[in-house]
Structure 1
Amino acid sequence: MGRLKELRKYVDAKLNEMPDTDKRTSAIVHLHGVSLAATMIAKKRGLDPELASMAAMLHDLHAYETGSYDDHAHKGADLARTILTELGLTSDEETDIICSAIYHHDDKLVVDSPMDECLKDADVIHHCMNDLSKDIKDNEKGRFESLCKEFGM
């Protein structure tokens, strides 16, 4: 089994432990949606699509497991490091790249490393396009407009 598939299996098992059906469905849709968007963005930008997808699969897992978004990006990076180490799916360098992206993904107004930006952008695409009836958040508007230009939308 490929390592991305193994990680998705692990994450899905964790999400399936969520007792609230609506929250569980929302979590699954978001993590898989951001994962797909991250893969596409990474391919376009010449980044490693597998690492981008892995970061996306883990980026909000801490929030879903605890029910809290309080400092979820930083706590999520710690959780991701624990999971990746436990599963032995990535090298130390790959783990650092993934955890950095998760750590910074909530800082939408700051520019960080290319992989960090990939995850931020994938998260914004999913936030903005998953439910078109919702207004775009102020801190995501500029990033979403740039993404629309980048992808010719």
Structure 2
Amino acid sequence: MGRLKELRTYVDAQLDQIENESKRNGAFVHLYGVSLAATLISQKRGEDTELACMAAMLHDLYAYQSGSYTDHAHKGAALARTILEQLQLTTPAETDKICSAIYHHDDKLVTDAPFDEVLKDADVMHHTMNDLDKPIKEKERARYEHLRQEFGL
């Protein structure tokens, strides 16, 4: 089994523990949606697609498990590190790269390392394109417009 598939199997088992069906379904939709967006963006920008997908699968897991979005990016990066070290799926450098992206993903108004930007933009892509009836958050508007231009939309 490939390491992305192994990570997804682990994440699926964690999400299956969410009792509320609506929240559980929303978690699956969001993590897999951001993972798909990360695939597109990372390939277009020449970043590591597998690592981008792994970061996407883990980026909000802390929030889903804890039920809290308070400081979820920073706490989520720590959780991701624990999971990746436990599963032994990545090298220390790859773990650092994934955790950096997760750590920074909620700060949409700041530009970080190119790999970190993939996760931020994948998150925005899913937020804005998953439910077209929802208004775009102000902190995501500039990234949304940049993504539309980047993808010729």
What is the TM-score normalised by the length of structure 2? 1.00
Q: Which amino acid aligns with 1:39?
A: T
What is the alpha-carbon root mean square deviation over aligned residues?
0.3
Q: Which amino acid aligns with 1:123?
A: D
- Deviation string, structure 1 residues 75-111 (Cα, Å, up to 9, x no partner): 0000000000000000000000000000000000000
2:42 is matched with 42
Task: Report the Cα offset of residue 135 of structure 1.
Answer: 0.2
SS at match of 1:132: coil
Q: Which amino acid aligns with 2:25?
A: T
1:150 is matched with 150
2:67 is matched with 67
Q: Which amino acid aligns with 2:40?
A: M
1:134 is matched with 134
SS at match of 2:109: coil
SS at match of 1:19: coil
2:20 is matched with 20
SS at match of 2:78: helix
Task: Report the Cα offset of residue 127 of structure 1.
Answer: 0.2
2:4 is matched with 4
Structure 1 runs of 4+ with >2 Å offset: none
Q: How far apart in 2 are the matches of 1:143 and 1:131?
A: 17
SS at match of 1:133: coil
Task: Report the Cα offset of residue 68 of structure 1.
Answer: 0.2
Gaps in structure 1 of 5+ consecutive residues: none
Q: How far apart in 2 are the matches of 1:133 and 1:40?
A: 23
SS at match of 1:4: helix
Task: Report the Cα offset of residue 19 of structure 1.
Answer: 0.2
Q: Which amino acid aligns with 2:97?
A: I
Work out whether 1:57 is the aligned partner of 2:57: yes
